[in-house]
Amino acid sequence: MATAQLLSSSSVLHHHRSFISCTTTPPIMTSPPPNSPPDTSDGGLLDVQHDMDALRRFDGQYWRALFDSRVGTTRWPHGSGVWSKKEWVLPSIDDADIVSAFEGNSNLFWAERFGNQFLNMDDLWVKHCGISHTGSFKDLGMTVLVSQVNRLRKLNPRSIVGVGCASTGDTSAALSAYCASAGIPSIVFLPANKISMAQLVQPIANGAFVLSIDTDFDGCMKLIKQITAELPIYLANSLNSLRLEGQKTAAIEILQQFDWEVPDWVIVPGGNLGNIYAFYKGFKMCRELGLVDRIPRLVCAQARNANPLYRYYASGWADFAAMKAETTFASAIQIGDPVSIERAVYALRNCEGIVEEAGEEELMDAMALADSSGMFVCPHTGVALTALMKLRRNGTIAAGDRVVVVSTAHGLKFTQAKIDYHSGRIPEMACRHANRPVSVKPELGAVMDQLSKLLSHTR
Ligand SMILES: Cc1ncc(COP(=O)(O)O)c(C=O)c1O
Ligand SMILES: N[C@@H](CCOP(=O)(O)O)C(=O)O
């Protein structure tokens, strides 16, 4: 019997009620040891708990072989990088209810030139989660959430009239695309003039009901929470733990892409802070189920203009204070009151994690350097690359370490930031790596002059 058939006929999958359940995440802890078990009594966010005993009936070798057997398939739904791990994500759902764009399976890029040239490293990798259906890692979680909504609406069409989110641009793009594909209404709350044009046009094109609100992301988040408490609109932000079940598969995929060898470090840009927890959860499941024997150290990287987690970390986890996030080129992480703060702290404390920050000039320079080595990354990836550069400089990350930088969105969503940088018109920024286009008359002589100048410099 094929492994997939064996699994789907096993009690592991059939008794889904005992397979996964929800508990709350641990509260912010100021003094207990980092390995304390989650406290479920604080009324915090729900978290999906898998029936690990049921999953343990199969050993690590079994799971590795099963997941590996699905790479590259077009078979529904296992062609998706998320649903190829279905047993660990949402085992109970019927394949027919799944809404998927075959997300995941994203490129783990060997950043050879960037690593060698700027960091004296030769084992640096960039996980391009932004090379995806809607251009960001949000697709990984949204396929799970929208599939579950699809299923619930089939059971009772009036239970959920639509799905809503607050967004800095990527969650809304993913939500509206997956909803449109399933014929489910979507409603998005966007902070007016704070997201890129490319991001704004995504939900518009996908037919979402778009509210542009004169506030910041945290203001939109507050409003959507109130609205979804009043109306039968399902909340799609990452405080909904289904999202994180999908997002955690990026961690599993990284291990798989390294033939189940564990990298030393994984660096993730953080805003609302669901993703850093999702990565931790994915790595931890792989260790607990015997696919690997350790987990990497995680680094969460924040923009200095929106750095509540960094400040908390710098205080030795003594004082958390939400803040008003200031404008940053890394606009998708302009978040001052992250909903998953407790989950993030829990994750970081349990993997010897680190939090770093990046100033505006640093993150833009890092983005430009990455692009100059052949990538085309978003400013959030610039934040993560800055964290890497700082940790290399201070010796925390060694030259020989294997490091994965998570690139969270496609650079094409943030072309205006790149245009501003390369035209050198950002106030108080040197734009050191700007590559300005040269205007020239349509005449052979004029073109020759320019090329002679260029060639004399390169000789
Ligand atoms: C491009 C991009 N990078 C990073 C993040 C941060 O992820 P999280 O909110 O899960 O911390 C977000 C969204 O917040 C994002 O859209
Ligand atoms: N960057 C996010 C912010 C919301 O994050 P979420 O993961 O909680 O939905 C966005 O693109 O909206």
Q: Residue 236 CA: which ligand is closest?
A: 2
Q: Which atom of ligand 1 is nearest to the CA of 168?
A: 16
Pocket test for ligand 2, best of 145, 163, 168, 273 (most atoms within 8 A of CB): 168
Residue 405 in domain: yes
Q: What pLDDT is stored for residue 21 in this prediction?
A: 56
- Kindly state whether residue 29 falls inside one of the protein's structural domains: yes
pLDDT digits (tens, 9 = 90+) for 209-251: 999 999 999 999 999 999 999 999 999 999 999 999 999 999 9
> Would 147 be classed as within a structural domain?
no
Q: Nearest C-alpha to atom 1 of ligand 2 is from which residue?
A: 332
Distance 440 CA to ligand 1 centre (A): 41
| 3 state SS for the chain | CCHHHHHHHCHHHHCHHHHEEEEECCCCCCCCCCCCCCCCCCCCCEEEEECHHHHCCCCHHHHHHHHHHHCCCCCCCCCCCCHHHHHHHCCCCCHHHCCCCCCCCCCEEECHHHHHHHHCCCCEEEEECCCCCCCECHHHHHHHHHHHHHHHHHHCCCCCCEEEEECCCHHHHHHHHHHHHHCCCEEEEEECCCCCHHHHHHHHHCCCEEEEECCCHHHHHHHHHHHHHHCCEEECCCCCHHHHHHHCHHHHHHHHHCCCCCCCEEEEECCCCHHHHHHHHHHHHHHHCCCCCCCCEEEEEEEHHHCHHHHHHHCCCCCCCCCCCCCCCCHHHCCCCCCCHHHHHHHHHCCCCEEEEECHHHHHHHHHHHHHCCCCECHHHHHHHHHHHHHHHCCCCCCCCCEEEEECEEHHHHHHHHHHHHCCCCCCCCCCCCCCCCCCCCCHHHHHHHHHHHHHHHC
Candidate of 25, 167, 195, 331 to mutate for ligand 2, largest count of ligand atoms within 8 Å of Cβ: 167
Range of the domain at 375: 1-135+241-410
Residue 251 lies in a domain: yes
Please report which ligand is nearest the Cα atom of 175: 2
What's the domain count of the chain? Answer: 1
Ligand nearest to the CA of 329: 1
What is the per-residue pLDDT for 38? 39
Ligand 2 centroid to Cα of residue 236, in Å, is 9
Q: Which of 25, 136, 138 should be mutated for ligand 2, with most atoms under 8 A from CB?
A: 138
**Whose C-alpha lies nearest to ligand 2, atom 9?**
237
pLDDT of residue 20: 54
Number of the ligand closest to the Cα of 306: 1
**Residue 425: inside a domain, yes or no?**
no
Examine residue 421 and state whether it is found in any structural domain, yes or no.
no
Ligand 1 lined by 269 (C-beta under 6 Å): yes
ipTM: 0.99
pLDDT in the model for residue 41: 40
Q: What is the atom index within ligand 2 of the atom nearest the CA of 138?
A: 7
Is 434 part of a structural domain of the chain? no
Residues in the chain where the model's pLDDT stays below 50: 1-19, 24-43
In a domain? residue 1: yes
Q: Which atom of ligand 2 is nearest to the CA of 236?
A: 9
Q: Which of 136, 137, 139, 171 to mutate to test the pocket of ligand 2 (most atoms within 8 A of CB)?
A: 171
Residue 378 alpha carbon, nearest atom of ligand 1:
1
- Ligand 1 neighbourhood includes 244 CB (under 6 angstroms): no
Closest approach atom of ligand 2 to CA 199: 11
State which ligand 1 atom lies nearest to the alpha carbon of 273.
Answer: 11
Q: Which residues contact 397 (CB under 8 A, 6 or more apart)?
A: 264, 265, 388, 391, 403
CA 438 to ligand 2 centroid distance, Å: 38
* Closest residue CA from atom 11 of ligand 2: 170
| pLDDT single digits (tens) 112-166 | 999 999 999 999 999 999 999 999 999 999 999 999 999 999 999 889 999 999 9
Residue nearest to atom 7 of ligand 2 (CA): 238
**In this structure, which ligand is nearest to the CA of 172?**
2
Read off the CATH number of the domain in which 332 is found. 3.40.50.1100
Kindly state if the Cβ of 247 falls inside 6 Å of ligand 1.
Answer: no
Which residues form the pocket of ligand 2, taking CB atoms under 6 Å from any ligand atom? 165, 167-172, 237-238, 271-272, 274, 332
Check residue 248 and give its pLDDT.
98
Compute the distance from residue 271 Cα to the ligand 2 centre, in Å: 8
pLDDT of residue 380: 98
